[in-house]
């Protein structure tokens, strides 16, 4: 069995975002990049499948982007993936979901994957399109937003998360693309010995396989929304903030 | 321009979100028609053409059936815009439809602006204007962004369609109800919620202590529940509980849209956060900037005096 996990590297969301020169996405200066959280759940799921099947499945991690994304791939290897593929692409951050999916599908095409796992969305774009597009391009079955996953008899039993905490249960025939929701599992932290081992695992650059598909949409402008300002902002010395806040809370709680 | 609005049916009921789709179509301008995939008896009471496809023979959730039904209705209606609500169902089916049409998809749209669609990004902190480059466009709208206004009540002109259908590898085996709620937060007058900013499980205690000092209940945002620091029964947000307390204190909660949807009806919101720019500031009456780990015990001590 062969499993592909698609991971994206995204900025830490606590950062202050500023538009890039063209004003079409964020500038990367001062940003700290890490693996997209939803993709961490996907990597964890792939490794759990591998462990449950006695190590037999080969798990390949794939990422598209500039050289920095190899850090996310090293993390995937340190978590337990067997090998990694890097599609070098300095323009990846501004490609639309269809283009990204097309690149993934081309790389995946002849490598015989039975299962493709990825996050249900990225933290920066949040389009939730890439997984289903990859499935459409490869002709695989597709289930999105899963919070429960069990593999057996050539199919995957998953539960999709619905509004209000309900779930829908599905059986998905392989080959399949499954997109992972937060809470599906608790992604492991790579241990030091595994980080060392990961350095010896194969991380290969692969060509995107020709010109990318035409973009179907483009970002015309990236900006910070004009927010309704917070009614009152309290900042300053700890004791002062605590005193003022305690007064407000006491008053509000007493009329509650 | 003609927009096809795709209604959502779940557990045999029409979701009320179709009213939001109607408001979106109104904002977009041009003609609009609706599509219902389900029993005809569920038809919304609205004027204009309503395409009706029966439910799938393989159960209510059948993405291949839904994709085929939308493609057929879009073809018959000659629609160049196809709109869904950005719900768990909507974001699952929309890309299948976009792929089938060779169309651009714009997800989680909050406004129509600058000749394109405005959508949130970077966990709700930033926005983008997305300009589609294809003739036909699939859109999912953010729940709550286009509030239903009514005004088109009437009897629809129903046209039945039969999707040209090829079952795929997805088989629906049933719904599972939400886990019973440990605490009914909907009735709590005071809720103090812990978010990712608490940093570690042990720090949930200082949030709980503040809740206790205020005579309130402990709540939590999704990341804290996913990490197993707080029980799911206390989760506030789209997949947890919707609350409307007199006082809501958000501790270390950035304010993702899914959380805001669960607590925006609170009467008074106090946010305590180290990030002054976090989206929670938008709904907060008071935003205190500081380190929770130091600030919360200091506040709790004062309240206990």
Mutate to test the interface with B, among A34, A230, A255 (most CBs of B within 10 A): A230
Q: What is the distance between the alpha carbons of residues B256 and B137, in angstroms, rounded to a whole number?
A: 26
> What is the structure's pLDDT at A61?
98
Quote the tokens at residue B118: 């405005």
B259 touching chain A per CB within 8 A: no
Cβ-in-10-Å burial (0-12, 13-18, 19+) of B304 comes to exposed
Dihedral over alpha carbons A117, A121, A127, A128 (to 10 degrees): 50
Do residue A253 and residue B190 have CB atoms under 8 angstroms apart?
yes
Provide the H-helix boundaries in A118-179.
130-138
Reported as a single tens digit per residue, the pLDDT across A57-74 is: 999 999 999 999 999 999
Neighbours of A135 (CB within 10 A): 28
Q: What is the distance between the alpha carbons of residues A189 and B8, in angstroms, rounded to a whole number?
A: 39
> What is the structure's pLDDT at B282?
85
Radius of gyration of chain B (CA): 22
Contact assessment for residue A174 and residue A115, using Cβ atoms and an 8 Å cutoff: yes
Contact assessment for residue B84 and residue B119, using Cβ atoms and an 8 Å cutoff: no
B232 touching chain A per CB within 8 A: yes
Beta bridge partners of A3: A59, A115
Q: How far is B202 from chain A (nearest CA, A)?
A: 18
- The distance between the two most distant Cα atoms of chain A, rounded to a whole number of Å, is 67
How many angstroms separate the Cα of A26 from the Cα of each of A10, B212, B254?
A: 11, 42, 19
> What is the structure's pLDDT at A230?
65
Q: Which of B33-47, B172-186, B272-286 has the lowest mean pLDDT?
A: B172-186
Q: What is the pTM of this model?
A: 0.93
> What is the structure's pLDDT at B276?
86
Q: Which of A167-176, B134-143, B296-305 has the lowest mean pLDDT?
A: B296-305
Q: What is the distance between the alpha carbons of residues B200 and B305, in angstroms, rounded to a whole number?
A: 27
> What is the structure's pLDDT at B150?
84
Quote the tokens at residue A198: 């990961």
Q: How far is A173 from chain B (nearest CA, A)?
A: 5
Q: Does residue A213 register a pLDDT over 90? A: yes
Do residue B282 and residue A161 have CB atoms under 8 angstroms apart?
no
pLDDT, average across residues B51-72: 97
pLDDT, average across residues B55-64: 96
Residues of A in contact with B174 (CB under 8 A): 168-169
Cβ-in-10-Å burial (0-12, 13-18, 19+) of B220 comes to buried
Confidence of residue A182 (pLDDT cuts 50, 70, 90): very high
Residues of A in contact with B58 (CB under 8 A): none
Reported as a single tens digit per residue, the pLDDT across B249-268 is: 999 999 988 899 999 899 99
Reported as a single tens digit per residue, the pLDDT across B130-159 is: 999 999 999 999 999 999 998 889 999 999
Task: Provide the mean pLDDT of chain B.
Answer: 94
Quote the tokens at residue B70: 């939308």
Q: Does residue A117 register a pLDDT over 80? A: yes
Mutate to test the interface with A, among B109, B186, B226 (most CBs of A within 10 A): B226
Do residue B282 and residue A227 have CB atoms under 8 angstroms apart?
yes
What is the number of helices (H) and of strands (E) in chain B?
Answer: 7, 17
Q: Does residue A91 register a pLDDT over 80? A: yes
Quote the tokens at residue A151: 């593999």
Nearest alpha carbon to residue A225 among B192, B11, B129: B129
Mutate to test the interface with B, among A16, A31, A162, A232 (most CBs of B within 10 A): A162
Q: Which of B34-38, B61-65, B178-182, B243-247 has the lowest mean pLDDT?
A: B178-182
């Amino acid at each position: 069995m062969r499993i592909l996990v698609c991971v994206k590297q995204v900025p830490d969301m606590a950062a202050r975002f500023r538009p890039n020169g063209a004003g079409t996405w964020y500038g990367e200066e001062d940003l700290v990049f890490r693996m997209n959280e939803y993709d961490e759940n996907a990597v964890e799921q792939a490794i759990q499948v591998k462990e449950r099947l006695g190590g037999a499945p080969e798990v390949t991690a794939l990422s598209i982007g500039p050289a920095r994304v190899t850090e996310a791939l090293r993390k995937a290897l340190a978590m337990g993936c067997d090998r990694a593929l890097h599609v070098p692409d300095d323009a990846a951050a501004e490609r639309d979901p269809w283009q990204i999916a097309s690149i993934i599908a081309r790389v995946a095409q002849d490598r015989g994957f039975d299962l493709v796992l990825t996050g249900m969305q990225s933290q920066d774009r949040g389009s939730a399109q890439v997984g289903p597009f990859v499935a459409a391009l490869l002709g695989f079955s597709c289930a999105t937003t899963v919070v429960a996953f069990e593999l057996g008899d050539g199919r995957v039993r998953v539960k999709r998360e619905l509004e209000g905490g309900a779930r829908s249960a599905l059986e998905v025939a392989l080959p399949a693309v499954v997109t992972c929701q937060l809470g599906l599992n608790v992604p492991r932290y790579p241990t030091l010995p595994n980080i060392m081992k990961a350095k010896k695992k194969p991380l290969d650059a692969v060509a995107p396989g020709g010109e990318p598909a035409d973009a179907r949409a483009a970002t015309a402008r990236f900006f910070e929304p004009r927010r309704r300002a917070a009614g009152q902002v309290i900042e300053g010395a700890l004791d002062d903030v605590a005193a003022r806040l305690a007064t407000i809370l006491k008053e509000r709680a007493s009329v509650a | 321009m003609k927009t096809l609005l795709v209604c959502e049916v779940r557990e045999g009921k029409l979701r009320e979100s179709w009213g939001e789709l109607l408001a979106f179509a109104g904002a977009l301008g041009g003609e609009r028609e609706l599509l219902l995939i389900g029993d005809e008896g569920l038809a919304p009471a609205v004027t204009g053409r309503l395409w009706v496809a029966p439910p799938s023979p393989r159960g209510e959730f059948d993405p291949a059936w839904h994709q085929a039904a939308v493609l057929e209705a879009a073809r018959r209606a000659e629609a160049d815009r196809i709109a869904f609500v950005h719900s768990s169902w909507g974001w699952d089916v929309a890309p299948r439809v976009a792929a089938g049409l060779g169309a651009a998809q714009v997800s989680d749209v909050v406004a129509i602006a600058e000749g394109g669609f405005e959508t949130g990004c970077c966990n709700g902190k930033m926005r983008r204007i997305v300009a589609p480059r294809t003739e036909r466009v699939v859109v999912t709208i953010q729940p709550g962004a286009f509030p239903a206004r009514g005004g088109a009540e009437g009897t629809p002109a129903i046209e039945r369609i039969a999707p040209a259908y090829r079952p795929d590898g997805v088989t629906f085996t049933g719904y599972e109800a939400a886990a019973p709620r440990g605490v009914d937060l909907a009735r709590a007058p005071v809720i103090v919620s812990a978010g990712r900013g608490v940093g570690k499980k042990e720090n949930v205690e200082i949030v709980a202590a503040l809740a206790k000092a205020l005579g309130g209940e402990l709540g939590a945002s999704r990341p804290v529940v996913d990490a197993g620091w707080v029980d799911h029964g206390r989760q506030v947000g789209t997949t947890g509980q919707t609350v409307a307390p007199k006082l809501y204190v958000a501790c270390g909660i950035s304010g993702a849209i899914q959380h805001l949807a669960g607590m925006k009806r609170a009467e008074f919101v106090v946010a305590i956060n180290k990030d002054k720019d976090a989206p929670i500031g938008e709904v907060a009456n008071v935003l205190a900037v500081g380190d929770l780990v130091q600030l919360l015990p200091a506040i709790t001590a004062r309240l206990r005096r």
